[in-house]
Amino acid sequence: MITKDYIIEITTQLYLKNGVKAVTIADITKELSTSKRTIYNHFIDKTDLMQACIERYLAGIRSNNDEIINNCSSAIEAMGIIQQQILKRADYSNAHFYKDILKYFPSVLKESYEKNSEFAFRELLYLARWGVKEGLFRKDLDPEVTMATVQTLLKLCNNTKIFPSAQFSKARLTEGIMVVYLRGLCTEKGLLEVEKQKHLYLT
């Protein structure tokens, strides 16, 4: 029996690979080897299914970030690994994934995206305060301003209109933008930790 969770899992994979507009209910049923009736037993329509996929996808990101933070020995290490994950998701996701949702189903993404952005900001605030407590970041930094800037810089690193991927590699952008900014936040102890964890930001 095909479960609701399995439908969400497979559909999300199709959306990430091909973009949302290109994937039809017929494509989903073919991939699942099932009927449209099975899909509509669990979801009202394609929009309802898409909402479930986005919520599951973003929940997975939040869970993964929590696990990273819990397993890391420093805020700088955690930030490096989280950045790796962001860049990997950008690489394996079809460029039309978010564009299609924003263009054709803006209301579907808005609530989930806002919720995820708030969560990401709270995580970054935690990392900033953790870094200060560890003595890695300067005590005089403003955590909210600092981490809002980090969010903006991460988006900038993924902006292929400003930085065409053929000309600017992810490693080059990260070293030229993120690592430079991160060094500016650090104490002497923090600078040593950045050098120790620098490989995380450049892979």
Structure tokens at 129: 């305060």
What pTM, to 2 d.p., does this model score?
0.83
pLDDT along the chain (203 residues), means of 10: 94 93 94 95 93 90 94 95 84 79 75 75 93 96 92 84 88 88 96 92 71
Single-letter residue type at 3: T
Please state the domain extents for the chain: 4-201
- Please report the pLDDT score of residue 113 as a whole number: 67
Confidence (pLDDT) at 193: 96
Query: Domain 4-201 adopts which CATH fold?
Result: Tetracycline Repressor; domain 2 (1.10.357)
Q: What does DSSP assign to residue 202?
A: -
pLDDT at 101: 78
Cα gap 22→152, rounded to integer Å: 30
